[in-house]
Structure 1
Amino acid sequence: MRTSNHLIGFLNFLTFLLSIPILGGGIWLSTRANNTDCMRFLQWPIIIIGVAIMVVSLAGFAGACYRNNFLMYLYLWAMFFIIVALIGFVIFAYAVTDKGSGRPVLSRSYQDYSLQDYSGWLADRVSSPGYWTKIRACVRDSHACRKMGRTVGGVPEAPELFYLRKLSPIESGCCKPPTSCGYSYVNETVWTAGQGVMGMDMDCQRWSNNQDQLCYNCDSCKAGVLASLKTSWRKVSVINIVILIILVIVYVVACAAFRHNKRIDNDEPYGETRMEKAQPSRIHF
C-alpha cells in the first residue's frame, strides 16, 4: 500500500514538472504574439492546459500523501480530460498550419511569401479586415523592419549582401516589396520602381517607401505572419507531443497503482478477519 502511494505521489510530482515546459511554451507564444506573430489569443489554450496540469498534479499528490480517494478520483478524471484536450490542441495546431510555405527566389537566400499558398481557418482569420487591422498595427509597432538596418562605414550594405540574408517571414513579407515586382534596392526598407514592375500583383502597387506603411497592407505581409505563426506553433507542438506521450504513460501507471490500492483496501478487512480466526483461542483458567 505504501509503495503504491509513493509511486502515485512520485508520478504526480513528475506531471507537475511536465506542466512547466507546457506553460513555458504558452508563455513563449505570448512573447511571440507581443513581438512578431501578433495573434494574441492563440497562446491561451496551451497556458490554460499547463496551469490545469499543475493544479491537478498537486491535487493528486495530496491525495496520494493523505490516502484521499476523492482527490485521487478527481486527479484521474481531470488528467484524462486534460490529455484529451492536449491531443485536440496538437491536432488543431497541425491542421490549421498544414498548408503554406515560402517560395524560393532565384539568386536570393531569403524566400518570398504569397497569401495564395495559405488557406483554411487561420488564413481566413489573419486576412479578415477586422483582425488584420490589429495585426498590422502590431507588426508595425514591433519595429521588425526598422531592426533590419545594417550599415558598412555609415553606408547601407550593398544589394549583393542584402540578397544573401536569410530574412524572417515578417521581414520578407512586410518590410520589402515582392521580388517579382522588380523594385531596385536602395536599403532594406527603401526600394525604387524599376522597368520590371508587374501590375498583375496588387502588392506592387501597395508597396510604399513611407516607413509607416511599407508593405503592411500587402498580401505578402499576411502570408509572412502566417508563416511565422506556423513556425512558432510547430515548435511548441513538437514539445507538446513529447510531453503528451509521457503524460499518457504516467496516467496509465497511475491508474494501475490506484486500482492496486483499491484492491488492497477491499481485501484488508477480509484478511484481518482471516488472521483473527487463524489465531488460537485463549484458554482462561
Structure 2
Amino acid sequence: MAENAPQALVTAEPATPTATETEAKTADKMESQSNPPGGMMAAAHVIAPGVLSIFSFFLSLALLGCAVWLLFMRSYDCEDLLGLPRVQTLASVGLLAVFAISNAALYQRQRFPMPVVVVIVVTLLLMLFLGLAYSGVNEMQSQRFPATASWFKMKVMDDSNWNNIKSCIYDKGTCNELVYRSLRKDSYDLISNSKMSSVQSGCCIPPKTCEMEEVNATSWRRKEEMEYDIENEDCEMWRKEWSVLCYDCRSCKLGFIRALRRKWWKLGVFCIVMSLLLLLSHLLLFLATFWERLKT
C-alpha cells in the first residue's frame, strides 16, 4: 500500500530573470518608444513619389488645356497682318511638347533618372524664359522675337505696317460701335465714360489730354483758347472726318498694341507659374527617386 501511495507533485517555480536580461528588455522597450516604426518610414518613401507623380501629371493637364485654348481661340481683329496666328499655333505646339516631355519624364524617371532630370529642367527653364519675355518682365534685347513688347512696338510703329493695320481697323467698323451705342443713350457724355476697348479709346476719340468738348460719339470740338504742346501731336492729328479721326495718332497705335499684348501677357504669366511648379515637382520627384536608389 505504501508503494502505491500517490507521489507528491512537485511544482517547478518560475525562474527569476537576471539583472542583465531585465536591463536588455528595458532598453529595447525605450528604443521602440523613441523611434517611429520602420514601416511608417518605408510607407512614406513609397507614397511620396506616387503623390508627386500624380501632382505633376495634373499640372501637365493645364498645359494641354492651354494648348487647346490657343489652337481654337479666336484671333483679334487685324492681328493676322502681323503673322500672330502662326506664332499662336507655334506656342500651342510648344506647350504640347512640354506636356509630352513632362509625362515622358514621369514614366522614364526610374530607368534614366539623370538624363530625364536634365531634359525636363532645360525644357522648363526655356518655358520660364519665354514666359518672362511674354509677360514683359524680361525685356528681351532682340526685337526679332515675336509677340514681345519690343517686337510689337517695332512692328506697329512701322509706317508700312500701320497703314495696313489702320485700314483694317476702319474696315472692321471699330468706331461704328460708338455711334450705335450713342443712339441708345440720352447723353453723348455717357459714351466717353463708358467702357471702351483700348483700340476705340485710342483711335475713335481724341486723347483726354487734349480736353476737347464732346459733340457726339465721334465728333469733338477744339477749345479756342486751348494751345497744345508741340510734343502732343495727337491733338493736332485728330480730325472729325469719319475716315481720319485719330487713326494716325500715337494713342491709336498704343491702343492696338495693348489689345494684342493682353492675350500674350496672360500666356506669359501662365508659363511662369506652370514652369516653376513643374520644376519644383520634378526636382522633388528626382530626389525621391535618388533616395530610393540609395536605400536599395
Cα offset for 1:158? 1.7
- Identical aligned pairs, as a percentage? 20
What CA RMSD, in Å, does the superposition of the two structures yield over aligned residues?
A: 3.8
The 2-side partners of 1:143 and 1:96 are apart by 34
Q: Which one of the candidate residues 166, 177, 183 is aligned to 2:195?
A: 166
Q: Which one of the candidate residues 155, 161, 169 is aligned to 1:131?
A: 161
Q: Which one of the candidate residues 112, 121, 127 is aligned to 1:86?
A: 127
Contact 2:203 2:252 in 1 (8 A): yes
Identify which range, 41-50 or 218-227, moves more after superposition.
41-50
Cα offset for 1:221? 0.6
The 1-side partners of 2:206 and 2:240 are apart by 10
Is 1:238 aligned to 2:279, yes or no? Answer: no
Is 1:188 aligned to 2:220, yes or no? Answer: no
Cα offset for 1:129? 2.4
SS at match of 1:185: strand
Give the TM-score normalised by structure 1: 0.64
Contact 2:156 2:257 in 1 (8 A): yes
Cα offset for 1:19? 1.0
SS at match of 2:247: coil
Contact 1:4 1:258 in 2 (8 A): no
User: After superposition, where does 1:270-281 map in structure 2 within 5 Å?
Assistant: none
Q: Structure 2 counterpart of 1:163, which letter?
A: S
Q: Which one of the candidate residues 249, 252, 259 is aligned to 2:283?
A: 252
- What runs of 5+ residues in structure 1 fail to find an aligned partner? 99-118, 268-285
1:176 alignment counterpart: 205
The 1-side partners of 2:167 and 2:97 are apart by 33
SS at match of 2:102: helix
The 2-side partners of 1:89 and 1:248 are apart by 15
Give the TM-score normalised by structure 2: 0.62
Cα offset for 1:166? 3.4
SS at match of 2:95: helix
Contact 1:96 1:121 in 2 (8 A): no
Cα offset for 1:145? 2.2
Q: Structure 1 counterpart of 2:117, which letter?
A: L
The 2-side partners of 1:7 and 1:254 are apart by 9
The 2-side partners of 1:49 and 1:74 are apart by 20
Q: Structure 2 counterpart of 1:89, which letter?
A: L
2:77 alignment counterpart: 35
Q: Larger Rg: 1 or 2?
A: 2
Q: Structure 1 counterpart of 2:96, which letter?
A: V
The 1-side partners of 2:122 and 2:170 are apart by 40
The 1-side partners of 2:137 and 2:245 are apart by 28
Matched length: 238
1:144 alignment counterpart: 174
